[in-house]
Amino acid sequence: MKLDYRSYILACLAAAALSASSAVAQDTIKIGVPMELSGRFVAYGASGKRGAELAAEVYGGKVAGKKIELLHRDIQSESQATISVFNELVNKEKVNYIIGPIASPTVAAAIPAWRQTKPLWIVPGSSSTKLEEEAGSEPEFFHAFPYAYHYHQSVAAALKSQLPTGQKVSLVFSDDNYGRTHQPYAKKYLTEAGFEIVAEEIVRTNAPDMNPLLTKIARSKPNILLGLVQTTDAVTLTKQIYTRKLPVPYLVGTAATQLDEWQKAVGPAQEGWIGVTTYLPGLKRPGNRDYPKLFPPSDEWEAAFIKKYGQEPDFEDAGCYVSAMLLFLAIEKAGGDDKAKVVAELQKLDVKNTLLGDAKFGPTPGGTKNQAFSDVVVFQRQSEKNVMLFPPGPTVGKIKSAVQ
Amino acid sequence: MSTMLSVRDLHAGYGESSVLQGLNFDLQKGEVVCLLGANGAGKTTTMAVLSGLVDASSGGVNYDGQDLLAMASHQRVEAGLSLSPEGRKVFPNLTVEENLVLGSFNASARAGRAARLEEVYTLFPRLAERRAQSAGLMSGGEQQMLALGRAIMAKPRLLLLDEPSLGLAPMIVQAVFEAIRKIAATEITIFLVEQNTHAALSVASRGYVMSAGRIVHAGSAAELRQSPEVRDAFIGGKSARTIREARHA
Amino acid sequence: MHYIPQLIVDALLLGGIYTLMVIGLALSFGVTRVINFAHGEAVMLGAYGAYTIALVSGIDPLLALPLLMVIGCLFGMALFKVAIEPVLKAPHVNQILLTFGIGLVLQNVAVMIWKADERSVVTPYAYSSFQFGEVFVPGGRLIGFGVAVVLVGALFFWLRHTEFGRATRALDEQRDAAVLVGINVKRMYALAFGLSVALGVATGVILSFIGAISPFMGFHILVKGFAIIVLGGLGSIVGAVLGAFLLAFAETAVSYYVPNGTGWAEAVAFAVLFLVLVLRPRGIVGQAVAD
C-alpha cells in the first residue's frame, strides 16, 4: 500500500507537470479580426476594430484563464486581400474564431478561404442573401446582422406604424449587386404592408444626372420615395431631390442616412430622410441584468465610449462590441479553447437587452442556422438629430414630412 | 564673300535606312544656289536636316559661324534659317493672313511684322486678295505663294525652298519663279531644291547635282544648262533614252 | 411628350458639364497627340482641392476656382516635362500605359489623403433652383453651365486672337510647318497639356458642389470623355463641344423615354462610340487620324 500511494502521488505530480507545460505553451486564445481598415469601406472596418478592442478591454483581457489575443488584419476592402488574410489566419495562425469582415463583397470573397478549416465565424455585417445561400447552413457560421429581407420587413412595418394606409411608393435602385438584391424584398414587404408601388427607376452607379428619373417619379405623385443606392449615388440622389424641391413627403434611404460622411456631404438636404440601422446612439436600451458590466444600459455605454474615443459610436462599434462579448461569454462557458464546445455554447446563449437587442442565435426561413439581431431601427433625421420611428417603444417619435 | 552655310560629311536617314551618305557643299552669302537630282537622291532629306525636322547621324554644318546641328529647330528659325517645305504644308484651317502672321512667330521676326506683311502682299497680290480665306481652300499655286510668303515673314537670311514648282501648271510656275527672282535680288541667300531644272537654272547662279545621298557634280548655271549627260542622266528625259539606246545598239 | 421642355433644360445643363469635362482632353490630344489617361484624375483632384479649401478656410469653390486652375496648369506643365516629353516618340501603347499609371498613382494618393468615402461641398447656390411654369432649372448646374460657357469662350478667344493660341492651332493642324515657322514645339506641348489639366481641374471644382466626389470618380469621366472625343472627332475642339451636347441629349432623351432609361445612360455612350467608329470613324468634325 505504501508503494501504491507513492506512485499515485508521482503520477499526479507528473500529470501536473505535463499540464503545466502545455498551459505555458498555449496561454492565449487567438481571435482573428479581419476588417476593412482601408479602401472603400474603411468607415465600417475602423469601427469594427474599435468595437472588438473595447470589448476585450471591458471583459478584462482574459477569458477562461487565458489572455485574449485579437489578431487585427487589414483586408483593404479588396477581395484579393481578403482571401490572403483569411488564408493566413486559417492556415498559418490556425485561429479557431474569426469576427469580421463587414461589407457584403468582402465577406463574400472570404467564404472559400474560410471553408478550409471552418473556424467559428461571426459576421457582424453583410445583408446579402447570397451569403445566406452559401454559408448559412454551416453550424460554425454566425450571422450577427440583418439580411436584406429583414431590413425591408422593418421598413415596411415602420412606415405602416407611422403613416395612414394607402400610401404610394416610388423606388429608385442602383444597377448593381446592392440595388438588385434589395429591390425585390422592398417591393414584397411594402406591398404586403398595404403600400402601392407606383414607380420604379433603376439608376446606373455614378450616374451624373438623376433629374430625368426624378421628373418621371414626380409625375406619378408618390408619398414615399425609397432610395436603394449607396455612397456617391446616395449623395447625388439626395442633393438633386433637395434642389428640385421634389414634392414627396417621405424619403427613405438605407445605410447611408446614419453615416457622418453622407450627412456632411449633403448638408441641409438631409432633413427628413429616414434611415435604417442596427444601432444608433440615443436608443436608451436598458441593459442586461446578468451581465451589467459587459452589457450596461446603452446610455451608459455611449457615455463611456465618448469619453474614451471622443466621438459617438456607430452601428459597427456597437455591433462588433456585442459580437466579441458574446464570443468571450461562449468561450468562458465552454471552459477554454475548444472550438466545438464554444460553437455549442454560442448557439445556446440567450442574453437580453444588449446594445443591438436580445442576443439569441436561431434559424431563419432563408436557411441560416445561427442568426441573431435581425431587428433594425428605423429613424429620421430631424433638425440634424436622429429621431426613432421604429420599433415602437417609449423613445419613439413622430414621423415628419420632408416637404415644407 | 563670306560663307553662309558649310556642310561637311553629312550623314542622315530615317530609322534603319541611311539617305545622306556624306554630303559636302558650301553656300556663300547672297548667292542663289540650286540642288538638282532624281527622285530619291536625298534632296528633301537635305532640307529636312538643315531645318531640323530630321536629325543628322553624323557630320557637321556651319551656319554663319555657328554649329547648326546643335541648335533646335526654333533656334535655327530665330537665327534666320527658313524653309518653305515640299508640298507647301500651309495651315489649312487658318486664313491666309493667319498663316503669314505665324510665319513671323519667332521673336526676332515679330518686330516689323506689319511692314513685312505689306511686302509679301506686294510681292503676291493674289494673297492680298484672299487674305481672309482659309488656306486649305486655295489652289496649288496660291498655296505655294503662301508658303513662300510665310517663309519670308520669318525675316530669313538663308531661305530654303523645297520643290516650289511641284504639281503646278507652267504658267503658275513662271509666276512663282518671277517672285523668287525678286526675292533673290535682295541680300537673302537662297538654296533651292528643284526637279524642274529649267526653272531652277533660270534663277540660280550655280548648282549641285545629287545622287544616292552624295554630291556628284557641281557647276555654274551655264555649265549645268549645257551639259546634256549630267542633266538628262540624272533628271531623265529624251536625251537619257537616246544615250541608253545608243549604248545597246 | 410633355417632358420636352424639362428634357431640353436637363440636356443643355448636362451638356455644359460634359463640355467642361472634355475640352481639356480635346486640347491635349489635338496638340500633343498623346491621349491623357490621367485626365479623370485631374478632374478628381480639382474636386478635392475645392473641397479641401472649402473645408479648411470656408472659401467658396467658385472663388477658389482661378487659383486651382493656375495650380493645375503649372502642375500639368511640370508633369509633362518630367514624365511625358520623354515618351513623345514612343509607341502609343507606351504613352497610354504611362498616363494610365500616373492616373492610378494619383488615385491612390487621393485615397491616402482623403480616405475613400464620398464627399461633397455644400454651398447655398448648389441647392437653389428656378421654376418656370412646369420647368425647373437647378441653380448649381446652371452655374456649372455658365462656367463652362465662360471657359470655352475664353479658350476659343485665346486660340483665335493670341500668339500662343494661334501657334497652338497651327501645331494642331500641321506639325512640321509649325516647327518650320519657329514654334518651340516642346514648350507649346507643355503649355497645351498644362491648360488641359487646368480645364480638368475646373470641371472638378464644379462637380464638387453639384454632386458627390470620390477618389475613383476619374475613371467614369475618362470613359465618357473618350466617347465624346471620338464622337466629335479626334483632335477637334469644336467637335468635342458638339459631341458633348449630342451625348448629353442622347442620354437625357433615353432617360426620359426609355423605361429604366437612367440605367441605360452609360450604355448610350458606348453605343454611340460603337456607331461612330463603324459609320464615320473620323467623327462629326474631326480630321482623319492615321492610327
pLDDT tens figures, B117-152: 999 999 899 899 999 999 989 988 899 999 999 999
Q: What percent of chain C has a predicted confidence (pLDDT) above 90?
A: 24
The whole-number pLDDT of residue A223 equals 92
Report the pLDDT value the prediction gives residue A22, as an integer from 0 to 100. Answer: 43
Inspect the interface and report whether the beta carbons of C262 and A206 lie closer than 8 Å: no
Higher pLDDT, A128 or B249: A128
Distance from CA of A269 to the nearest CA of C (A): 8
- Cα dihedral C16→C17→C22→C23 (10° resolution): 50
**A interface test, pick of C109, C117, C137, C141 with most A CB neighbours within 10 Å:** C117
Query: What is the arithmetic mean of pLDDT over C152-157?
Result: 91
pLDDT (0 to 100) of residue B196: 84
Mean pLDDT is highest, among B9-18, B95-104, B209-218, B235-244, for: B95-104
CATH match of C4-128+152-279 with 1.25.40: no
Distance, in Å, from the CA atom of C152 to the CA atom of C26, rounded to the nearest integer, reads: 12
User: Are A and B neighbours with ≥3 CB pairs closer than 8 A?
Assistant: no
Query: In degrees rounded to 5, what are phi and psi of residue A37?
Result: -85, -5
Q: Which of A340-344, C29-33, C207-211, C235-239 has the highest mean pLDDT?
A: A340-344
Kindly state the average pLDDT of the residues C242-260: 86
Q: Tell me: pLDDT of B246 over 80.
A: no
Instruction: Mark yes or no for CB contact C217/A39 under 8 Å.
Output: no
Residue C19: its pLDDT value, please?
Answer: 92
What pLDDT, in 10s, does the model give residues A375-395?
888 999 998 888 888 888 777
What is the predicted pLDDT for the residue at C168?
Answer: 87
Q: Is the pLDDT confidence value at A145 over 90?
A: yes
A252-266, B187-201, B219-233, C221-235: the lowest-pLDDT one: B219-233
Q: Quick check: C181 and B150 CB within 8 A? A: yes
Complex-level ipTM:
0.80
Residue B78: closest C-alpha in chain C: C182
Q: What mean pLDDT value characterizes chain C?
A: 85
Grid coordinates representing A162 are: 407611422
CB A204 to CB C128 under 8 A?
Answer: no
**Is residue C106 pLDDT above 60, yes or no?**
yes
CB contacts of B89 in chain C (<8 Å) are: 174, 176-177, 180
> How far is the C-alpha of C63 from the C-alpha of A341, rounded, in Å?
65
Query: Which residues of chain B does C181 touch, with a Cβ-Cβ cutoff of 8 Å?
Result: 77, 102-106, 150, 153-154
Closest-CA distance, A313 to chain C, in angstroms, reads: 18
Predicted pLDDT at C134: 81
pLDDT at residue A7 in the model: 58
CB contact under 8 A, A232 and C214: yes
Q: What is the pLDDT of residue A20?
A: 46
List the single range of A316-320, A362-366, C110-114 with lowest mean pLDDT: C110-114
pLDDT digits (tens, 9 = 90+) for A162-220: 898 889 999 999 887 788 888 999 999 999 999 999 999 998 877 888 888 898 899 89
Which among C7, C120, C220 is the nearest to A206, CB-wise? C220
DSSP reduced 3-state for B159: strand
pLDDT for res C119: 77
- Indicate which of B74, B84, B146 best probes the interface with C, i.e. most C CBs within 10 Å of its own CB: B74
Task: Give pLDDT tens digits for A79-102.
Answer: 999 999 999 999 999 999 999 999
The confidence score (pLDDT) of residue A52 equals 95
8 Å CB contact of C170 and B106: no
Query: How far is residue C115's CA from residue C110's CA, in Å, rounded to a whole number?
Result: 7
How many Cβ atoms from other residues are within 10 Å of residue C154's Cβ?
11
At residue B14, the pLDDT reads 82
* B245, pLDDT greater than 90: no
Query: pLDDT-based confidence at B248, cuts 50/70/90?
Result: very low
pLDDT at A228: 92
Q: How many CB pairs under 8 A join B and C?
A: 70
Q: What is the DSSP string of chain C?
A: -TTHHHHHHHHHHHHHHHHHHHHHHHHHHHHH----TTHHHHHHHHHHHHHHHHHHH---HHHHHHHHHHHHHHHHHHHIIIIIGGGTTS-HHHHHHHHHHHHHHHHHHHHHHH-SS-B----GGGG-EEEETTEEEEHHHHHHHHHHHHHHHHHHHHHHHSHHHHHHHHHHH-HHHHHHTT--HHHHHHHHHHHHHHHHHHHHHHHHHHS-B-TTHHHHHHHHHHHHHHHH-TT-HHHHHHHHHHHHHHHHHHHHHSTTHHHHHHHHHHHHHHHHHHH-TTTTTPPP---
Residue partners of A220: CB distance under 8 A and separation at least 6: A168, A170, A198, A199
SS3 content of chain B, % helix, strand, coil (to 5): 45, 30, 30
Backbone φ and ψ of A144, nearest 5°: -105, 45
What is the CATH number that goes with domain A27-146+284-373? 3.40.50.2300
Above 70 in pLDDT, residue A14? no
The closest CB to that of A209, out of C10, C115, C213, belongs to C10
* Residue B230 pLDDT > 70: no
Task: Tell me what the mean pLDDT of segment C270-286 comes to.
Answer: 74
Confidence band for B238, pLDDT divided at 50, 70 and 90 = very low
In chain C, what percentage of residues exceed pLDDT 70?
93
Give B-chain residues touching C237 at CB under 8 angstroms.
none
In this structure, CATH architecture of domain A149-277+378-390: 3-Layer(aba) Sandwich (3.40)
The yes-or-no verdict on residue B239 having pLDDT over 60 is: no
As a whole-number percent, the residues of chain A with pLDDT over 70 amount to 93
Q: What is the 3-state secondary structure (H, E, C) of C74-100?
A: HHHHHHHHHHHHHHCCCCHHHHHHHHH
Question: Are B183 and B152 contacting, i.e. CB atoms less than 8 angstroms apart?
Answer: yes
Q: Which sign, positive or negative, has the C-alpha torsion C93, C188, C30, C171?
A: negative
Determine how many CB atoms are found less than 10 A away from the CB of residue A364.
17
**In the structure, what pLDDT confidence band is assigned to residue A6 with cuts at 50, 70 and 90?**
low
Domains A27-146+284-373 and A149-277+378-390 share a fold: yes
Neighbours of chain C (3+ CB pairs under 8 A): A, B
pLDDT of C253? 87
| CATH of residue B157 | 3.40.50.300
Instruction: Judge whether residue A285 has pLDDT over 70.
Output: yes
Torsions phi, psi for C213 (to 5 deg): -120, 145
pLDDT of residue A122: 96
Q: Taking 70 as the threshold, does the pLDDT of residue C282 lie above it?
A: no
According to the per-residue pLDDT averaged within each range, which of A4-8, A323-327, C169-173 is highest? A323-327
Task: Note down the domain range covering B168.
Answer: 3-248
Quick check: C197 and C76 in contact, CB under 8 A?
yes
| CB atoms closer than 10 angstroms to residue C287 | 17
Q: In chain B, how many domains are there?
A: 1
Query: Does the pLDDT of residue A283 top 50, yes or no?
Result: yes
pLDDT of residue A8: 57
- Partners of residue A227 in chain C, C-beta under 8 Å: none
Q: How confident is the model at residue A303 (pLDDT cuts 50, 70, 90)?
A: very high
Name C171's Cβ contacts closer than 8 Å, sequence gap at least 6. Answer: C31, C178, C183, C185, C188, C189, C192
Residue A23 has pLDDT above 50, yes or no: no
